[in-house]
Structure 1
Amino acid sequence: MSFLSLSHCSRLLAGAGLSLLAGAAMAAHPLITDDTGTQGKGHSQFELSSDHDRTRTDAGIERVQSSSAGFAYGVHDDVDLGISLPHTSYRVPGEARQQGVGDVTLQAKWRFHSGERWSLALKPVLTLPSGNHDKGLGNGRATTALHLLAQYEAEPLTWLVNVGGTHNDNRDGQRKGLWSASTALLYAPHADWTLALDVGANRNADREGPRTQSYALLGGIYHLNKDVDLDLGYRRSLQSGPVTHTVGAGLTVRW
């Protein structure tokens, strides 16, 4: 793959919102904004999700399918450790389809404050260069991030706020110092359902694209029982340039 094609692939993946997803690794799908909840000591969670992005450009329609399997374990009532393994398949007009395992993400979540309504948590994230950089499936170098999570509860509403920074080390000449900010409002009209509105923005890693990326997301989570959730979401990019539409679905199991 030529350098020009590889650079275009990097822009495609960033434009499709994958940089936003990486910054919010293992948030409750389909949300980008994470909550402060932890599993509890000795408890585990497995999450399987799939997102399909579609972007119409002058060159044609670009499609990205990204799937992820994530596992989190509670080492303390207020501390989780987690790992996420992504798989990406994409096609640039005029190029052969590329697919394979992406960069593995390791993370922790520490809820350091838990009040009657407010709770706060820190989430450090380490992304390992396990994806094939030559195929545009990985960053080529490890990246680190730190996010501050806030949550306010007033049933049936929950308000989430995230802010964070990322050191985006890479081999493609992308920006290294990145920021992200997002907020989500969750509404539970019934014990079996949660509806969500999620909006956010982040500094674009691609120097040739818009300086800031942004999105809006609508989603719903069906609680099959206290340990199993099914979800569906729709996300749309809001920054200038070609619009990316994303439809995603997921399954979460706790034990």
Structure 2
Amino acid sequence: MRLLLKNSYIKNKKHQVIGLILFLIGPSAQAGAPFLTDDPVILEQKKWELFLFSALDLNNDLFLEPYLYAPTIQVNYGIFKRVELDIILPYAMALPDAAPFSKGFGDMQLGVKFQFIEETKTMPQIGTAPVLWIPTGNADQNLGNGIPWFKIPILAQKSWGKWTTYGGGGYVYNSAPGMLHFFLCQFALTKRSERQSDIGWRGFL
């Protein structure tokens, strides 16, 4: 579950309380590799967003254990025109089958998003959003990577009426023991419904 709090109403204490209750009682969303990508949309200058969310990473891999990130805080800020700064602070819980359960602060994410080309009738919006993972989590307790790692994607988005498609590709560099460097690619197609909610399909490679 993700809860979005924007500066347009964050000062309203009633909304803060309702939002916090929804976050605490809401179900976790299954998450994983698709969160490695993004869209190229940039916040307006001097605007900010605050996300509170939980994520369950099942890690369908022989060597990786499931993780629960709850709560996780994400703050985005439009520092310049076409430039956005992002920070993600996760509280991680390792859920191994054999080893003892562990929990604590996970690896912090620092990101910057640049928009190169604005969307027009014929041209998609294009940008990049490099992210650096800082090893703030305890790797000995399976709460972190142990060393820094990063990703560099190229992102694009185009809209036609109620339909929006976005995606991108890039490279992830992770030299920690047992980890791999790899290329990633994601594509999404969404449609804005009459209830102002997005429905669509997302694929990840």
TM-score range, shorter chain: 0.7 to 0.9
TM-score by length of 1: 0.61
Selected match of 2:164 from 155, 158, 161:
158
Give the number of aligned pairs. Answer: 171
Aligned partners of 2:31 and 2:55 also within 8 Å: no
Bigger strand fraction: 1
In 2, Cα distance between the equivalents of 1:169 and 1:88? Answer: 21
1:1-255 equivalence runs, <5 A: 18-21=32-35, 23-24=36-37, 34-54=38-58, 63-67=66-70, 68-117=72-121, 118-170=124-176, 172-175=177-180, 177-190=181-194, 192-201=196-205
Take 1:127 and 1:100, find their aligned partners in 2: how far apart are those partners? 16
Distance change (3 Å), C-alpha of 1:114 and 1:20: same
Q: 1:155 to 1:191 in 2, by over 3 A?
A: farther
Change (3 A) 1:113 1:136: same
AA at the equivalent of 2:95: R
**How far apart are the structure 1 equivalents of 2:115 and 2:59?**
37
Answer whether contact 2:32 2:56 (CA < 8 A) is retained: no
- Judged with a 3 Å threshold, the aligned counterparts in structure 2 of structure 1 residues 191 and 19 are, in CA distance, closer, same or farther, namely closer
Percent same amino acid at aligned positions?
A: 23
> Following the alignment from structure 1 to structure 2, what is the Cα–Cα distance between the partners of residues 173 and 63?
16
Distance in structure 2 (CA, Å) of the matches to 1:121 and 1:64: 30
Amino acid of the residue matched to residue 106 of structure 2?
Answer: G
Counterpart CA distance in 1 for 2:144 and 2:61 is 23
The 4+ residue runs of structure 1 with deviation greater than 3 A are: 16-20, 53-58
Deviation at 1:133, TM superposition (A): 0.5
Q: Aligned Cα RMSD in Å?
A: 2.3
Q: Classify the secondary structure of the residue corresponding to 2:140.
A: helix
Would you say the 8 A contact 2:40–2:155 is kept in 1? yes
Point out where structure 2 has 5 or more consecutive residues left out of the alignment. Answer: 1-29
Q: Output the CA distance in 2 between the equivalents of 1:189 and 1:43.
A: 26
> Per the alignment, in what secondary structure is the counterpart of residue 134 of structure 1?
helix
Change (3 A) 1:56 1:140: closer
- For residues 36 and 142 of structure 1, the distance between their equivalents in structure 2, rounded to whole angstroms, comes to 24
**Residues in 2 aligned to 1:107 and 1:54: alpha-carbon distance in whole angstroms:** 24
